[in-house]
Amino acid sequence: MKTLLPVVYALLLIACGSPDRNTEPAAVAQTSDDLQTIIDTARRIPNTTGWFEILKLPNDVYAIWEPGHAEKVNAFFILGDDKNVLYDTGMGIGNIGLAIKDLMKHEQLADRELMVINSHNHLDHNGGNQFFDHIWTINNKWALEKLTQGIAGGADGPFKSYWDQFTPHDGVAPPDSFDLPTFSIPPYPRENVSFLTEGDTVDLGNRQFEVIQARAHSPDGLTLYDKKNQVFFGGDTFLGNRYLITDLALLADDLDRVKSLPVKWHYSSHGPQLLEAMQHGRHLSVVRRMQQGEYSESSTLFAGIEMPLLELDGVYISLAGSALTY
């Protein structure tokens, strides 16, 4: 596995159930142009971190974005009447806990219980766990190891080149406390970890999210779905028409379990914060044809290592295999 570690940072840049859960027709979504207008005109919330850009989005959702890194990671702060949810904690380069404090003060939000949930335990989504006393995740052996072991830094750290992928963005820069040669993700205490499972309900009082596990991108993928408001947080498994996965059969299973969900608002964990929703029924049919051998195959070169890239009808699938469980 050690030989695969240098390639993982490049792979992550690309990323970036129960049957018959719902048989209603999928909601009619906004076009990509409509969604881009919402993003471009979203109110920006000032914060003192110098690293995050905070966007006020529909459905009482704030995106806490890291545009200064090539990953363009999004964490989402979701408001409820009884408690709030933070879906992911970002890369750990900036203090996302401070960003949330600034956000709540600026927006004059009530101080409610905060439930911190990791969509999965790749290092760009749990790097900020250190700023919170308790987190929730899927109970998975690999995920628990990533949490409790952390990611080493220093000159011999496997992800130094990955963390060094900075991109220019007005008003954003790594904080003075960030030191690339020594940066690491500290181990998270096992006793401060709780678990969610498929079918659980995350109840915020005025809104409820169903937990749906997705295993194709990582074994601990955790998506959230609000049926009443047709809101979906897809993590890194569902990022549009490009998939970075370990196994084609696992992707078919993931798509099958979300294909009939009516979704109007699909929030993305990388890049533009909103995606056209939902095309997973069509993508599932394409993947099933791929499983029968119907696709064009090429290869993608990452850090000197080739991996298969499958394409059919505008759906692109990178088969990363075990590199995603570094």
Tell me how far apart the alpha carbons of residues 57 and 103 are, in angstroms, rounded to a whole number: 13
pLDDT at residue number 302? 57
pLDDT at residue number 230? 96
Edge-first strand order for the sheet with 265-267 is 201-203, 208-214, 221-226, 231-233, 265-267, 274-275
The encoded tokens of residue 204 equal 């915020």
Query: Using one digit for the tens of pLDDT, what is the confidence trace for 285-297?
Result: 999 999 999 999 9
DSSP state of 185: B
Buried b (16+ CB within 10 A) or exposed e, 145-166: ebbeebbebeeebbbbebbeee
The gap between the terminal CA atoms of the chain, to the nearest Å, is: 7
CA-to-CA separations, 175 to 65, 68, 75, 172, 178, in angstroms, rounded: 15, 11, 18, 9, 6
pLDDT at residue number 29? 52
Residue with tokens 């003192």, as numbered in its chain:
48
pLDDT at residue number 161? 87
Query: Using one digit for the tens of pLDDT, what is the confidence trace for 252-271?
Result: 999 999 999 999 999 999 99
H-state helical runs in the chain: 5-14, 32-41, 96-107, 123-126, 141-149, 160-163, 248-258, 280-291
pLDDT at residue number 277? 79
pLDDT at residue number 305? 62
Q: What CATH number did the domain enclosing 290 receive? A: 3.60.15.10
pLDDT at residue number 6? 43
**How many structural domains are present in the chain?**
1
pLDDT at residue number 196? 98
User: Three-state SS for 319?
Assistant: strand
Task: Provide the residue range defining the domain that includes 8.
Answer: 2-325
Give every residue of the chain whose pLDDT is below 70, as ranges: 1-29, 278, 301-305
Cβ-contact 87, 75 below 8 angstroms: yes
Tell me how far apart the alpha carbons of residues 6 and 3 are, in angstroms, rounded to a whole number: 7
